[in-house]
Structure 1
Amino acid sequence: MVDADQTFVIVGGGLAGAKAAETLRAEGFTGRVILISDERDHPYERPPLSKGYLLGKEERDSVFVHEPAWYAQNDIELHLGQPAVAINRADKTVRLGDGTVIRYDKLLLATGAEPRRLDIPGTGLAGVHHLRRLAHAERLKGVLASLGRDNGHLVIAGAGWIGLEVAAAAREYGAEVTVIEPSPTPLHHVLGPELGGVFAELHREHGVRFQFGRRLTEIVGQDGMVLAVRTDDGEEHPAHDVLAAIGAAPRTALAEAAGLAVVDRADGGGVVVDEQLRTSDPDIYAAGDVAAFPLPLFGTRIRVEHWANALNGGPAAARSMLGQEIAYDRVPYFFTDQYDLGMEYSGWAPPGSYDQVVIRGDAGKREFIAFWVAEGRVLAGMNVNVWDVTDRIQQLIRSQAQVNTEALADPHVPLDGLAS
């Protein structure tokens, strides 16, 4: 039983942590709720950092999950700008960087992920950037505006979601952009070669230069500033700023030091949780980017670094902490906006897991739905500039029904009937 004398502690000031705190109160928990974040800002959402806020289309305040006053109004105790540095599972305490020790009855780890670093000469130069935090976005926003005014060059290492979204933003500011990517297409490990080309063509039409099959080997500078980059083919490319967008690593150090089970880094990393988002310690839970949860639908354990997972995982973990029976098995979902292309993706279909990609609509006009199919079953679906179909796509995925691929490709055949 949960009672008013209990203390629930949340480590992590992102969307998952903030929504968990909100849910605890909404579900009637009257004990102490303490939220710890190593950032000084109140909890905020990350998608605007590479989308609306970076483009100057959204105000800074729009990124926050709640108004600052909401936390006091709901009796949520905040420790901002204060990292959690150790968990003592025997004493059920969390120690902060300033030495403060906080006791917990239940603990939620929502520590998120951090950008991977380039391991090459020149990364200490002033014009080398990452994008993960609000402070990063604030800095990069000014950089893009300056590059646009001065016809400056931005080199982006990595053609994943962050790299492409920043490329689109930089071009809208007027900056010159070169993207360097070891794979043969953008988003290769998510969309495969079949659909990665759609994004390559989109960006080329807007003036982005790609260097596929290449890696950065050095960032060249003078007087502490970036001048150019070198790639492993010996070429040199002009650059005034460089963005490292080579992925993110789950922040598992706190969990590992506490002896919690984690997934090997080679397999994607993350804190191991069960379907109720409990870690190997029954009083410690994990949600959001850091949690590696079982997904029976795909027969695997998965870690999802996207907004919807934080939005839904935080509340699910909160309900589990309260003793409610939950089974967190949501179909992975993410979205992107680049230039005039809007896209939503549902499912999980890494290269090698599917045997064909079925297109419904006109890929040339970028108005279509793509389905990744294995043995007639839909593993994933991506709707590009086609809206209000996510629920039906997810229904198809969940049904695991064998579908007629000709009907799947035919826009005149309703999606609803394909999963029957």
Structure 2
Amino acid sequence: MSKWLKRPIAFALIICALIFAPNLVNEQGYVLISFASWTLEGSVFQVLVALLIVAVSIYILIKAVQYLFLMLIWPSKWWQKFHVKKSTSFYQNGLNLMALGQWDLAAEEFLKVRRSDRIESARALSLVCAAHANNKKVTAEVENKLKLSDLSTAPSLTFDKSEVPFSQLVLACQSEDYEHAAKLLDTMALPVLKQSIAFQQLWLEINIYRHNWSEVDQMLPKVNKQIKKQSSEHAFDSWQAQLTKWFERGFSSFVSLHSLNQLEQAWKTLNKHNRQLPALLFAYLSALSKAQQSDKVEALILEQRKVLNNVFILNIVRRYYELNHSVQMDLLFTRVQKHLLNAPDDKELLTLLGYLAAGQRDHQLAKQALQKVVYSQNNATDTKLFAQELALLGETQKSLEVYHSL
């Protein structure tokens, strides 16, 4: 009820009391209220006076409690509001610095947050910023401050030791400490497929670099399916590119630790569906290319020809050329020439012919094929090959012009 209505009502009640009270004094009315062993009795006037005294007493008690609240409790609540406002400012500053790419400064801002409902996320973000800073000194400072804050803050504000923050996994992968990352995963003991897409991707990265091929073989199709279902086509393509990089590095490190023969054996144990995934197949062919196994690369391309498109084959041939500066694949060369009879203007086939003809030392054919596509496709590797073929044909001036166009 609003004040403008309360006051007229109270004023009217006082007037009524002044008017009717003298008439009630001499009245002989009698009131008897009995409840269990408790009894209230008296004249009407005495009962009304008693009720009024009780009402006034209750009012005074409420006001006294409110006064004590304002004197003793409200100042701490004011301080809490000030503290929350200050903490929110640190949090927002951290987010703003993240947007600017100032990762080290952002990490420091997040560490200043003390608000209980935000401290967990602030600490996690400080670790993420340290990872993005890619600076071991910043990472060490952040982790050290977190340890110190755990000792000095209240129990309710510390990390739950049974949980490992996702950002710690990111830091472990950032420093390529995959053994430690694997231990963190074991500590978490979470069902991978029920976690976020980010966690699933990180799980794959850790297990690829630890060469756990059987676990990766089992989980990869399920993770791929979930990501494809929840992502746009562009986002899924970006994910496949990232997956290719992980497998390339994973296969390369496996060969360094063991041998190419053991990688081939591991490859054969993978599920057929996984071996046909472009990301996985490209990474494996890159490993073979790095070892200059042109026969095996060619055989696998021809074996998987039904599931591969010309763009994929061109990319792996380019990759082989980048690693070895020459591509000699006789069977593939013959196949490409046959396909060009039916599609003489196919740019991918023409580019492929350029690389394969150069490997056959048919420089005139390589030049003719490449000059039809090199200016429209704008690929640096194709352009370098074209310039090289011009130089081998004695067209030095034109070769220099092509090099300068890069």
TM-score by length of 1: 0.26
Per chain length, whose mean CA-contact separation is higher, i.e. which structure has more relative contact order (CA < 8 Å, sep 6+)?
1
> Which structure has the bigger radius of gyration?
2
- Looking at secondary structure, tell me which structure has more helix per residue: 2
TM-score by length of 2: 0.27
- Looking at secondary structure, tell me which structure has more strand per residue: 1
